[in-house]
Structure 1
Amino acid sequence: MSRDVYIAGVAMTPFGRHDARSMQDLAQAAVLGALADAGADQNRIQAFYNANVYGGMVLGQVLMRDLGITGPALYNVENACASGATAVHLACQALRLGLYDTVLVWGVEQLTRLGGGTIPLQRNDYKTELYAAQGMTLPTVYAMRGSRYLHERRETPEILARIAVKNRAHGARNPYAQQRKEVTVEEVLNSRPVAEPLTLLQCCPSQVDGAAALVLTTVKPASSRRPVRVLGSAVQSGHLEEGCDDILDAEITARTARLAYEEAGVGPRDVGVVELHDAFTIAELLYYEALGLCEKGGSADMLRRGDTALGGRVPVNPSGGLLAKGHPLGATGVAQMVEIAWQLQGCADGRQVEGARIGLTQCTGGGIAGVDHAASSVHILGV
């Protein structure tokens, strides 16, 4: 019999450059913060889930060893940018099946140790060398989507810049965000070109460190704050593309969202706040449509009306999103859920979405040749 899953405690570190802190420091700070927020002792935790992309083998055990967290099951999860959200999904499955009563999930990454440049391509994909030789990095893939969007929708690059302006304005209110400076449309469009039509301020920072953690339980928390439940949790992988697919159709996200909505028993119109995977500005516009927040073809008008800004019908990325908050891969999906939990409990000081009772997180991951994405995850939370 399936059981309700509650978020008992949350915590995260500020995202940014942490030269003086190790990955162990970051992970432990988030874990201890989530335990304290839940009012739980680590001995109450029956299983641990560590999400990370570039940290190496048995990273979770290495990170937690010095806290004395040894013995219980500890799962290491890697699913590219969707690693953290995938770890949450697996934890929810185990809780609902009754394998555990209380677990802890964290995600951590220290990308500044990789040096500069874009995030490295998938190394074991046999087509990577061919695609890379043609300049197919993730920024160029999203640039093609952006160019196609502007052409088909008869829009100008300003519509893409508006996403960066909105999310960076939100991020300026978030003490956990890496970049806390508001920008104008002109500043976005005049920033350094990356891949036409994308400029630097339309791409999420690739040099960022951070960690986030959640305590999940089937025991309804006794806290005075409103208990947040995981209403729906879905993860899917991408279909093989046939070569003539619509690059503006985020099929994997739409499919994953349908599963999450069905499980939660809600629809897009019920959602009051969203954290989604805006690694590049064009992605957010495509995900409005894939998540059902607007009709197909309606994303630009939705943005222009202010529907997705703070104070709008359904604020998107009040944290600043990946564009402003940063994108430490393994931590991103967990941090999205931390933000939504704060929003639903009325704890998001300075960027609070008023009246939201249902929130959604969406995270995709993995640019491999021949598929839309390697993984997509959608979670729906409610109070």
Structure 2
Amino acid sequence: MTGEVAVLGAGMHPWGKWGRGFVAYGTVAARAALADAGVDWRDVGSVVGADTVRGGYPGYVAGATFAKALGWQGARVASVYAACASGAQAIATARAQLLAGLADVVLVVGADAAPKGFFRPAGGDRPDDPDWLRFRVLGATNPAYFALYARRRMAVHGDTLEDFAQVKVKNAALGALNPHARYRKAVSADEVAASTVVADPLRLLDICATSDGAAALVLSTMDFARRHGVADPVRIRAVSTVTPTYPNTVLDLPDIATDSAAAVPPGERTFRASIAHAAYEEAGIGPDDLSLAEVYDLSTALELQWYEDLGLCGEGEGAKLLRDGTTSLGGRIPVNTSGGLASFGEAVPAQAIAQVCELTWQLRGEAGGRQVAGARVGLTANQGLFGHGSSVIAVR
């Protein structure tokens, strides 16, 4: 397809708490991606960095920061910020440059050195930002926000604490097989239930941590890939970075308190559902075509919501999909084969890129014990603060 670009290389710095700066992590991931692609740094025509506002001035100019760290060689640079969707925005920017003929090879890098505890809003007071309002007016930190979603699912769809725990059990088992994951230990449902309550009904093991880490991709035009000797590369077919169509003031709040079918105006979709729909539409595929998905499991309950928003099942059927083993390795549509944020934690600018790294390894058949048999089509999905959508579809 004319809108496709090739994924020649994928690389990561393991997630954890390493006590170094984001530039060090990003440089390791970038060099790993270049080595994986077999591309010399001097052949990179552009560097797109996903910004980290916690990294000081260098974090706001991540593209140039990574280009300098790798050694100035004249590449054009771009830097993008979209909170948790920053990586997808960086991929979209790189793809646009490739399709416009501005470069043959683009390096995409995201990295973070996250503080301990809750993420604080950056940039001062933002009374026009619905997420700032949530933090400051409602006092709803992210765990409290996730707990509202969980309570809604319990009230409207009958989900249980055991259902939420099984999401963690599934993802932890896969993360134990991933050398890049921070938490590489299987956990039981009993361990989830015994962990500290953070925001009822969610326990500590229901909620993802904050982490250091990095991910990088080497993208190219299809012509360059063929000249480079890669006849059948993994290809990015769609990138969705849509914003909500409703409501105009506070993101998703109707969905928290009421049945979403009643909250959504006729002909509209929830924000998360619209993110995936835009990707499906661009790629010319649907949910039934997927081999696997990587979704943004900030909490266990939120992963179940993504099943429905991606169209993997009907509304209210997410827990049943999990119970049936459909989203487990070996099921019809494995979800979060990387181990998800349950196993990695948040390294915000890197995570949407890391999701595409996992798709790349899966579609190449290089995922080891996490491998999805015969994987041909993968989708990523997350969302960032201030209405940033994020979904990438990769095929082979």
Q: What is the TM-score with the length of structure 1 in the denominator?
A: 0.92
Residue 126 of structure 1 aligns with which residue? 127
**Secondary structure at the residue paired with 1:316?**
coil
Residue 87 of structure 1 aligns with which residue? 90
1:261 to 271, 280, 297: 280
**How far apart in 2 are the matches of 1:381 and 1:77?**
21
**How far apart in 2 are the matches of 1:130 and 1:331?**
24
Could you report, residue by residue, the CA deviation over 1:288-322 in whole angstroms, capped at 9, with x for unpaired residues? Answer: 01111111121111000001011111110011001
Residue 371 of structure 1 aligns with which residue? none
Structure 1 segments unaligned to the other structure (5+ residues): 369-373
Which has the larger helix fraction?
Answer: 2
Q: What is the TM-score with the length of structure 2 in the denominator?
A: 0.89
The answer on whether the counterparts of 2:225 and 2:231 sit within 8 Å (CA) in structure 1 is: no
**Secondary structure at the residue paired with 1:376?**
strand
1:246 to 255, 259, 262: 255
CA 1:262 to 1:240, structure 2 compared with 1: closer, same or farther past 3 Å? closer
1:65 to 60, 68, 74: 68
1:229 to 226, 235, 239: 235
**Secondary structure at the residue paired with 2:193?**
helix
Give the superposition deviation at 1:24.
2.2
Amino acid at match of 1:382: V
CA 1:73 to 1:142, structure 2 compared with 1: closer, same or farther past 3 Å? same
Could you report, residue by residue, the CA deviation over 1:144-165 in whole angstroms, capped at 9, with x for unpaired residues? Answer: 1100100111232111111111
**Secondary structure at the residue paired with 2:84?**
coil
Residue 179 of structure 1 aligns with which residue? 183
The answer on whether the counterparts of 1:3 and 1:97 sit within 8 Å (CA) in structure 2 is: no
After superposition, residues 123-202 of structure 1 pair within 5 angstroms as: 123-126=124-127, 128=132, 131-202=135-206
The answer on whether the counterparts of 1:24 and 1:64 sit within 8 Å (CA) in structure 2 is: no
**Secondary structure at the residue paired with 2:225?**
coil
Residue 389 of structure 2 aligns with which residue? 376
1:25 aligns with 2:28: no
Could you report, residue by residue, the CA deviation over 1:4-32 in whole angstroms, capped at 9, with x for unpaired residues? Answer: 3000111111111112x432221111111
**How far apart in 1 are the matches of 2:144 and 2:370?**
32
**How far apart in 1 are the matches of 2:391 and 2:63?**
24
**Percent sequence identity over matched residues?**
40
Amino acid at match of 2:237: L
Give the superposition deviation at 1:90.
1.6
Give the superposition deviation at 1:238.
2.8
Residue 207 of structure 2 aligns with which residue? 203
1:217 aligns with 2:187: no
Residue 265 of structure 2 aligns with which residue? none
**How far apart in 1 are the matches of 2:62 and 2:229?**
32
CA 1:194 to 1:305, structure 2 compared with 1: closer, same or farther past 3 Å? same
Amino acid at match of 1:9: G
**How far apart in 1 are the matches of 2:303 and 2:133?**
28
Amino acid at match of 1:125: R
The answer on whether the counterparts of 2:280 and 2:286 sit within 8 Å (CA) in structure 1 is: yes
**How far apart in 1 are the matches of 2:30 and 2:232?**
21
Task: Tell me which moved more, 102-111 or 89-98.
Answer: 89-98
Task: Tell me which moved more, 243-252 or 310-319.
Answer: 243-252
**How far apart in 1 are the matches of 2:277 and 2:314?**
15
Task: Tell me which moved more, 65-74 or 145-154.
Answer: 65-74
**Secondary structure at the residue paired with 2:15?**
coil
The answer on whether the counterparts of 2:27 and 2:69 sit within 8 Å (CA) in structure 1 is: no
The answer on whether the counterparts of 1:365 and 1:376 sit within 8 Å (CA) in structure 2 is: yes
**Secondary structure at the residue paired with 1:75?**
strand
Amino acid at match of 2:370: R
Residue 306 of structure 2 aligns with which residue? 287
Amino acid at match of 2:126: D
Give the superposition deviation at 1:361.
0.8
**Secondary structure at the residue paired with 2:216?**
strand
CA 1:129 to 1:355, structure 2 compared with 1: closer, same or farther past 3 Å? closer
Aligned residues: 372
CA 1:68 to 1:191, structure 2 compared with 1: closer, same or farther past 3 Å? same
The answer on whether the counterparts of 2:8 and 2:219 sit within 8 Å (CA) in structure 1 is: yes
Could you report, residue by residue, the CA deviation over 1:334-356 in whole angstroms, capped at 9, with x for unpaired residues? Answer: 11100110000000112111111
Could you report, residue by residue, the CA deviation over 1:150-208 in whole angstroms, capped at 9, with x for unpaired residues? Answer: 011123211111111111111011111001111111111220111011110011111x1
**Secondary structure at the residue paired with 2:16?**
coil
Task: Tell me which moved more, 339-348 or 28-37.
Answer: 28-37
**Secondary structure at the residue paired with 2:36?**
helix
The answer on whether the counterparts of 2:150 and 2:201 sit within 8 Å (CA) in structure 1 is: yes
**How far apart in 2 are the matches of 1:22 and 1:55?**
8
The answer on whether the counterparts of 1:107 and 1:330 sit within 8 Å (CA) in structure 2 is: yes
**How far apart in 2 are the matches of 1:286 and 1:109?**
27
Residue 106 of structure 1 aligns with which residue? 109
Amino acid at match of 2:219: L
Give the superposition deviation at 1:121.
2.7
